[in-house]
Structure 1
Amino acid sequence: MKKLALALSVGAASLLSVGALTVPTAVQAQPVITIQTPPPPPRYERVPPPRRGYVWAPGHYEWRGGRHVWIGGGWVRARPGYAYRPPEWRQDGGRWVYNSGRWDRDGDGVPNRYDRRPNNPYRN
């Protein structure tokens, strides 16, 4: 009986430690992904009817395991006062750089953590 209790407690502790490492938080750092291979053309996705309080995050390609992997779209809870910017690949000097989806407060496309004046009402 003691062996079973010990095995269960060790198993539970290991599951909790793994869960603690993989639980997403709102302030996780997003690694910059730069590759030489361009992403394939986006796949067609049927966008479902609007849902109150949610924003549609379109499907996109991510770089996983040395190849492009399609991630299907889904609903993201809306944040009042913010605009959702979907994930995108941009070409920069012959390389492809991945920008993950993010929320932008002033609509200029620059993430607020990099924007010197994120709430400038006179910005174009």
Structure 2
Amino acid sequence: MLSPSLSRVSSLATFLFAHRRHALAAILCLASLPALADVTLQRGPPPPRFEDPHTAPKGEFWVPGYWQWKDGRYDWVDGHFEAKRPGMRYTPPHWEETGAHEWTLRDGKWDATGWGPGTVHEIRAPKSSPATR
């Protein structure tokens, strides 16, 4: 009889073999995503490029473009529209001065709603207290 951990590995291997087309498709999709990791450099990025996003479609907002570090040089990534997520805010990728002559690229991310720069705010009516009901 196989140990529980060996049994799980065997089950996973059987599943992946049986669904190898789906597993391969998932791996290829993940590999095609841009991998943003914190990158720290000794010089800041060039000024942002002008982009004209026009009007965002209903339920979407504009994420501005930014400079990424690629192949030893700055490479512009165009802005795009992103779907709003109720109760969430999005902070786009951005460069942050993290030391004297040191800049770090921070990845874009979604967080619970809060106030601050680079956010999409969902305004909700305050919850009524039991005394006011």
TM range (shorter): 0.5 to 0.7
Structure 2: state its 5+ residue gaps.
1-20, 117-133
2:97 corresponding residue in structure 1 = 91
For 1:41 and 1:21, the matched residues in 2 are separated by 31
Structure 1: state its 5+ residue gaps.
1-12, 110-124
> Larger Cα Rg: Structure 1 or Structure 2?
2
For 2:90 and 2:80, the matched residues in 1 are separated by 13
Matched-pair contact (CA < 8 Å) for 1:55–1:84: no
1:44 aligns with 2:53: no
Tell me by how many angstroms 1:21 deviates. 5.0
1:22 aligns with 2:31: yes
Instruction: Judging by fraction of residues, say which structure has more helix.
Output: 2
Secondary structure of the equivalent of 1:46?
coil
Which residue identity is paired with 1:49? T
2:113 corresponding residue in structure 1 = 106
1:34 corresponding residue in structure 2 = 40
Secondary structure of the equivalent of 2:47?
coil
1:54 aligns with 2:60: yes
Tell me by how many angstroms 1:103 deviates. 1.1
Query: What fraction of aligned residue pairs are identical, expressed as a percent?
Result: 37
For 1:107 and 1:22, the matched residues in 2 are separated by 32
> 1:108/1:23 Cα in 2 relative to 1: closer, same or farther (>3 Å)?
same
For 1:50 and 1:58, the matched residues in 2 are separated by 12
1:7 corresponding residue in structure 2 = none
For 1:108 and 1:66, the matched residues in 2 are separated by 35
> 1:30/1:69 Cα in 2 relative to 1: closer, same or farther (>3 Å)?
closer
Number of residue equivalences: 92
TM-score (structure 1 length as normaliser): 0.63
Matched-pair contact (CA < 8 Å) for 1:86–1:101: yes
- CA RMSD, Structure 1 to Structure 2 (Å): 2.5
